[in-house]
Amino acid sequence: MVQDAPIPALKALAHPLRWRILATLASGERNVGEIEQVTAIAQPGLSQQLGVLRKAGLVLTRKEAKLVFYSLSQEAMAVTVCVMRFVAVGAAMGIVAAWRVVVAAR
C-alpha cells in the first residue's frame, strides 16, 4: 500500500491518540488492556482508534484465548520512515522539493 497510495495511512496518522498508540506498540506487541493502561485512553475510544489503525493497515492483530494482541505492521514502519524523511527534507528544502525526494525514494 505504501508504494501505491500512502494517503489512507497518512490520514490515520493525523490524530494524537493514534500516534500515542503507535508509540506504545513501537516497543513490541501488546494486548488491548496493556495499550489502555500505557496510553490512558479509555476502552471505547481506544477500540475506535485501533480500528482506524487496523483499517489503514498500520497494525496487525492476533487473538489468544479472549485477548487481542496488537503489533505494528511493516506498513506502519514504512509510512513512519516516509513521514520522517518528508519532515527532515521539508525543513531543509521546502515542501514541494521534499515531496519529490520522498516520492523518488520509494
Q: Which domains does the chain have, with CATH numbers?
A: 7-105 (1.10.10.10)
In the numeric block, the cell 528544502 is attached to 93
Over residues 32-56, the mean pLDDT reads: 96
Q: What is the mean pLDDT of the chain?
A: 83
Mean pLDDT of 15-19: 90
**Partners of 61 in the β-ladder:** 70
**For the segment 58-84, what is each residue's pLDDT rounded down to a tens digit?**
999 999 999 999 999 987 777 776 776
What pTM did the predictor assign? 0.71
From CA 65, how far away is CA 46, in angstroms rounded? 20
